Structure 1
Amino acid sequence: MQIVVLPGDGIGPEITTATSGVLRAASERFQLDLRLEEHAVGHASLKQFGTTVRPELLDIVRAADGLILGPTATFDFKDEAHGEINPSRHFRKSLDLYANVRPARTYAGRPGRLGEFDLVVVRENTEGFYADRNMEQGNGEILVTPDVVISLRRITRLCCERIAHAACRLAMKRRKHLTIVHKANVLKLGDGMFLDICRAAAKGYPGLEVDDILVDAMMAHVVRNPDRFDVIVATNMFGDILSDLTAELSGSLGLGGSLNVGDRYAMAQAAHGSAPDIAGQDVANPISLILSTALLLAWHGEKSGAVRYEEAARAIEAAVAKALREGRATRDVGGKLGTIAAGAAIAEVLQAE
């Protein structure tokens, strides 16, 4: 399996190094023949090539079996005419990665804030309120006067249908419970269509239990009783907010994996940002990116029919759980290790099992 690795900015190179060590351990144990091919992206690429994402990089990614994108300094990149391309947006849009899969679960030895739970947020990833994703050209925000801004949201039948089916398929592999999160009482056309399509899609999956909750009420329900949920599907912005909340409820945003998936390609990406304030200090938590790469391996295994990749993914997740249970982790999740040592501890557990 050929994987393109883009370390990114801030803490990105550190957590990517830790993650690569875990992948090498998994490759050795499960005979995966992983080949990690690293390229510059973000500020490093801007300095070297005059652009945050050089044009040929997309073809390199398309020729590989998977992509790992470290956190990038998205807020710094404002002018594409001067090479300041948002790497995350570029690959999500260019590879049509329409589903953002964000698991959140609690771990023994690292209790969640509100009891034990295990759920997944499936977020539509290509349209919605995000102004850099909902237009073919230009931007979805309009400055009418210095004091008036209009933000457009795009919702399409195609995108609703494919995210609905992605969530249903995942729910059928888990506990067969799907929750649709929406605001159809106010956004009657856009969220109304999203809700109707999700309900219609779910009818094609026998035994799937379906409910729906308004997004504002959902914030209360998931805080009050997160273990009642299994797979949650939502439009882009609602899903983004909800997945950060559920990850934090599990103990830390640094414990939340994230996989961006399309019909042909997938990109593992940490759920958090580049955290430039702690870059280079060996304190960043690598677990989010490690779990994201486990999701990438599982996706490749299912897509290719090679079971050993799915077995490796489960083993990585189990190694993370054991390392957390033993307190072999970074300080933000109760441990005393640095970034590289925390990654090495997970790799060691993985090899010893």
Structure 2
Amino acid sequence: MTTNTQSSRRYRLGVLLGDGIGPEIVPSAVAIVDAALAAAGVDPAEWVELPLGATAIAEHGAHTPSSTLDTLAGLDAWLLGPHDSAAYPEPFKSQLNPSGTIRKHFGLYANIRPAKAFPGGNAVVPGTDLVIVRENTEGFYADRNTHAGTGEFMPTPDVAIAMGIITRQAVERIARSAFDLAQRRDKRVTIVHKANVLKLTTGLFRDVCREVAAGYPDVAVDDFHIDAMTVHLVRRADAFDVIVTENMFGDILSDLAGEIAGSLGIAPSLNSSDTHAMAQAAHGSAPDIAGHDAANPIAMILSSAMLLEWLATQHDDERLRDAAARVEAGVAAAVAGGTCTKDLGGSSSTSEFTAAVVDLIGA
């Protein structure tokens, strides 16, 4: 890693603490990003905290106030903590949740979810280092596949119907994201589908991905049915590089891959479009441990590193890429040295782990 001394803009980054453990893990990520930016010679970020979640309901009468969305639009990117929408009072509990509201509002069509094992990190399959590229706007998820309303309905009290939407445009877009990423990694893409049963919908997904693959002759391509893919991940997750799939399959596979790599607590993700990006840990709000300084902040921290990588590309600022590498190296060094939270077999608190990574980045 090298420090680039060129002058730069001051980045404005949103902070959405969320619910549960969010107010603990998001500040952890902020502190570590601050340390990495300083070490890489980047001007300190301007952090803009905005209301969201249960506190926003109490203070603004909405879990995602319009003022929050308006402010986010003017920022360079933002960090989103987990939300506990299942615990919201009605009518907020039945509404599109905060992360879904933001994704839909800004058209964040790509959900990038790495799963990378750490030495000493309790991985089920040591050596796992893959990325799941999940289409984020369609599929069987009721909150994402219609312009208005939802994709679920009940014609009678005893019949429930869900629509699964797959469009060529959305598949082409996510496939290009996957193949572009593969060219920066090990040049291998695996397409996951269920075309033997869902012949038209996931068959279209598979076929369009194959069409896009023709434009990337240097990238090796294979494909698996979703049920077979779960078995392959459990047995040989270390054999895969980039996995591209539709919304629901991607959600399921990424949780599985996170646990295989060591813990869902280390599973980061980035939601992005061509113009906006949001760092968001793949796990939930863990209300049972909220306030106990026990949560693993790694997923949120590494999500923030992904955000720095995205910003580096957007603004052609290699110092941000350097800062992202410093975050990743600091986390890996802390875990390798035995500093980690309970879910990884350690005894460190959230704050202790954060302080250790900050010290390693500044060393």
Contact 1:270/1:292 (<8 A) preserved: yes
Q: Which runs of 5+ in 2 are unaligned?
A: 1-10
CA distance, structure 2, for counterparts of residue 235 and residue 17 of structure 1: 32
CA distance, structure 2, for counterparts of residue 342 and residue 112 of structure 1: 19
Residues 1:324 and 2:335 are matched in the alignment:
yes
Which one of the candidate residues 171, 180, 189 is aligned to 1:160?
171
CA distance, structure 1, for counterparts of residue 328 and residue 93 of structure 2: 40
Q: Which runs of 5+ in 1 are unaligned?
A: none
- What's the counterpart of residue 58 of structure 1? 69
- Superposed displacement of residue 40, structure 1: 1.7
- Superposed displacement of residue 145, structure 1: 2.1
Which one of the candidate residues 74, 80, 84 is aligned to 1:73?
84
- Superposed displacement of residue 119, structure 1: 0.4
- What's the counterpart of residue 233 of structure 1? 244
SS across alignment from 1:68? strand
CA distance, structure 2, for counterparts of residue 329 and residue 232 of structure 1: 28
- What's the counterpart of residue 208 of structure 1? 219
- Superposed displacement of residue 261, structure 1: 1.0
Contact 1:257/1:291 (<8 A) preserved: yes
Q: Residues 135-214 of structure 1: matches in 2 within 5 Å?
A: 135-214=146-225
- Superposed displacement of residue 36, structure 1: 1.0
* CA-to-aligned-CA distance 1:225-258 (integer Å, 9 cap, x gap): 1111000000000000000000100110011110
Contact 1:78/1:84 (<8 A) preserved: no
Q: Residues 253-292 of structure 1: matches in 2 within 5 Å?
A: 253-292=264-303
* CA-to-aligned-CA distance 1:35-86 (integer Å, 9 cap, x gap): 1111120001011111111112112111100010000113235856799551
CA distance, structure 1, for counterparts of residue 189 and residue 89 of structure 2: 37
TM-score, normalised by the number of residues in structure 2: 0.94
- What's the counterpart of residue 311 of structure 1? 322
Contact 2:334/2:340 (<8 A) preserved: yes
* CA-to-aligned-CA distance 1:301-350 (integer Å, 9 cap, x gap): 01110000011111111111000001112111122111112111111111
Contact 1:120/1:230 (<8 A) preserved: yes
SS across alignment from 2:222? strand
Task: Report the identity percentage.
Answer: 48
CA distance, structure 2, for counterparts of residue 26 and residue 66 of structure 1: 17
Report how many residues are paired. Answer: 352
- What's the counterpart of residue 124 of structure 2? 113
Contact 1:52/1:84 (<8 A) preserved: no
- Superposed displacement of residue 222, structure 1: 1.1
* CA-to-aligned-CA distance 1:152-203 (integer Å, 9 cap, x gap): 1111111111000000000010000000000011111111111111001011
CA distance, structure 2, for counterparts of residue 64 and residue 279 of structure 1: 28
* CA-to-aligned-CA distance 1:98-134 (integer Å, 9 cap, x gap): 0100000111122411231210000000111110111
Q: 1:344 to 1:203 in 2, by over 3 A?
A: same
- What's the counterpart of residue 15 of structure 1? 25
> 4+ residue runs of structure 1 moved beyond 6 angstroms?
none
Moved more, 105-114 or 66-75: 105-114
CA distance, structure 2, for counterparts of residue 172 and residue 75 of structure 1: 39
* CA-to-aligned-CA distance 1:9-59 (integer Å, 9 cap, x gap): 011001112111101111211132211111120001011111111112112
Which one of the candidate residues 12, 16, 19 is aligned to 1:2?
12
Q: What one-letter code is carried by the residue in structure 2 that aligns with 1:27?
A: L
Moved more, 107-116 or 50-59: 107-116
CA distance, structure 2, for counterparts of residue 290 and residue 62 of structure 1: 23
CA distance, structure 2, for counterparts of residue 224 and residue 180 of structure 1: 18
Contact 1:79/1:85 (<8 A) preserved: no
Give the RMSD, CA atoms, in angstroms: 1.4
SS across alignment from 1:278? coil
TM-score, normalised by the number of residues in structure 1: 0.97
Contact 1:222/1:246 (<8 A) preserved: yes
CA distance, structure 2, for counterparts of residue 217 and residue 320 of structure 1: 32
Contact 1:51/1:83 (<8 A) preserved: no
- Superposed displacement of residue 206, structure 1: 2.4
